[in-house]
Amino acid sequence: MAAKYLNNDLHLESPENKRTPIYKCDICDKEIFEGNDCYKIADIIYCSKCMDAHLQIIAETIDTEAFLVKLENEEVGD
């Protein structure tokens, strides 16, 4: 019986394990399932974690300390 088979299957493994990954992160090899965040740049697949890291690498680093010092100086000037 199909219903009985389904029940047995659920006992053996969680629905999470039964899902088939759609993609695999090219950076960390993490399997990406339906509904997961997934990004692609120049045919490279990124999971959300690696995308964050990638963005931090390519993004311009802003010197927040200098920005704050400038703000403070402007306040003092007024």
Nearer to Zn ion, 39 or 69 (CB): 39
Q: Which residues bind Zn ion (CB under 5 A)?
A: 25, 27-28, 30, 47, 50
Q: In the bound complex, what is the minimum distance in angstroms from residue 71's beta carbon to Zn ion? A: 37
Nearest distance from C-beta of residue 32 to Zn ion, angstroms: 8
Comparing CB distances to Zn ion, the nearer of 10 and 28 is 28
Query: How is the chain classified by DSSP, letter by letter?
Result: -HHHHHHHHHHHS-HHHHSPPSEE-TTT--EE-TTS-EEEETTEEEEHHHHHHHHHHHSPPP-HHHHHHHHHHHHHH-
Task: State the minimum distance, in angstroms, from the CB of residue 37 to Zn ion.
Answer: 10
